[in-house]
Amino acid sequence: MLFSAAADSYELAVREIRGEFGRDVRVQRVGAELGRVEGPPVEAFAAACDAGRIMFVRHLTVEIASFEELPPEYELAEVVLGELPEYPKALAVQAWTDAAGTGGSYYHRLEEALAGRGVAVTRSGQEYVVSCFAGRKAVLLGLNRLADSLSDWPGGRMRLARGDERVSRSEFKLEEAIATFGLELPRGGKAVDLGASPGGWTRILRQHGQEVWSVDPGSLDPRLRGDRRIHHEATTAGRFFAANANRVRFDVAVNDMRMDQVTSARMMLDAAAHLRRGGLAIVTLKGGGRNPLDGARRGIEILGERYDVRHARQLHHNRNEITVVAHRH
């Protein structure tokens, strides 16, 4: 099986894999962001990632072939189609490389090969995903059900549009979390955005129909100030919660504040008292220090005092962070 992880977090991913499946499991690095592991079934691996026991793996696929270069179209189609339980009407194809570029030429080779056999090809949204990784020494092919792939993007590298409406780069983190974990925010809900300035997460919450209380002593982007469903609370989170007693009950609480994992988790315990039962919490636990894995685990342990943690993963836009999704007890 092939797994993707951020280059800086690869060793942390290996540590988690061995912690889950045993120290003797064989792991081989085959690219800056790609490793090969032998032993665990893909369903068990995906379940461990989805439950947050493995946080630093972003994408999974079952290796089906390795080539010095891709073979002719007919042979390439045979390799892929021969691994499927039944002939498909459509497949998703995702290609990426260790080098510069997007892997587009490999995508088109696979697209042509499969189209020649009557199989429609898309980049996402199909039951099965064909993964093609072009490394320095080999081209690797993988095949996996989307349900066990963790991400519907090549190697877990989600690409989002960079429009003029963007307030900050941090928007990508929340947008990716909502898409990756299939989160549904309550229609007409009330959300609190802790450490909101300049308002990137607030903007995404408004896109999902939330009325937002944006808590930060700093200012919000001018483009957000005219929205009557955005309430800028120019204060700290602690002071806001002290003043909010019995005033607003929130459906969603988010936190992208720059603080260590433990402090950030404890801030979310304070938020829980203002969140309705079953309410959604999304928090980024910042890395750093000598042992970011143990720091993240400690943060998640603290969150467990008031929340049911549903997901914990280092997403593509996280850098040295873990995104945690939880629901209040």
Q: pLDDT tens digits, residue range 258-313?
A: 999 999 999 999 999 999 999 999 999 998 667 889 999 999 999 999 999 999 99
- Using the predicted structure, report yes or no on whether residue 72 has a pLDDT greater than 70: yes
User: Exposed, middle or buried, 89 (CB in 10 Å: 0-12/13-18/19+)?
Assistant: exposed
CB atoms within 10 A of CB 55: 27
Q: For 38-42, 88-92, 163-167, 211-215, which range has the lowest pLDDT when averaged over its residues?
A: 163-167
Query: What pLDDT band is residue 100 in, cutting at 50, 70 and 90?
Result: low
- Name beta bridge partners: 31: 34
Query: What pLDDT band is residue 136 in, cutting at 50, 70 and 90?
Result: confident
For the stretch 6-26, pLDDT in tens is 999 999 999 999 999 999 999
The average pLDDT across 81-96 equals 97
Q: Which of 137, 173, 190, 286 is catalytic?
A: 286
pTM above 0.85, yes or no: yes
Percent of the chain's residues with pLDDT above 70:
98
Q: What pLDDT sits at residue 160? A: 81
Domains, the chain, ranges and CATH? 2-156 (3.30.2130.30), 171-328 (3.40.50.150)
The average pLDDT across 196-224 equals 96
Residue 4: which of 128, 152, 104, 195 has the closest Cα? 152
Higher pLDDT, 38 or 166: 38
- Using the predicted structure, report yes or no on whether residue 99 has a pLDDT greater than 80: no
Q: What pLDDT sits at residue 288? A: 66
Q: What pLDDT sits at residue 60? A: 98
The question of whether 89 is a catalytic residue gets the answer no
Structure tokens at 304: 């467990």
Residue 95: which of 87, 107, 83 has the closest Cα? 107
- Distance CA(188)–CA(233), nearest Å, equals 20
Average pLDDT of the chain is 94
Q: What pLDDT sits at residue 292? A: 86
Q: What pLDDT sits at residue 291? A: 80
Write out 259-291 in H/E/C secondary structure. CCHHHHHHHHHHHHCCEEEEEEEEEEEECCCCC
Q: What pLDDT sits at residue 313? A: 97
Q: What pLDDT sits at residue 167? A: 86
For the stretch 225-256, pLDDT in tens is 889 999 999 999 999 999 987 789 999 999 99
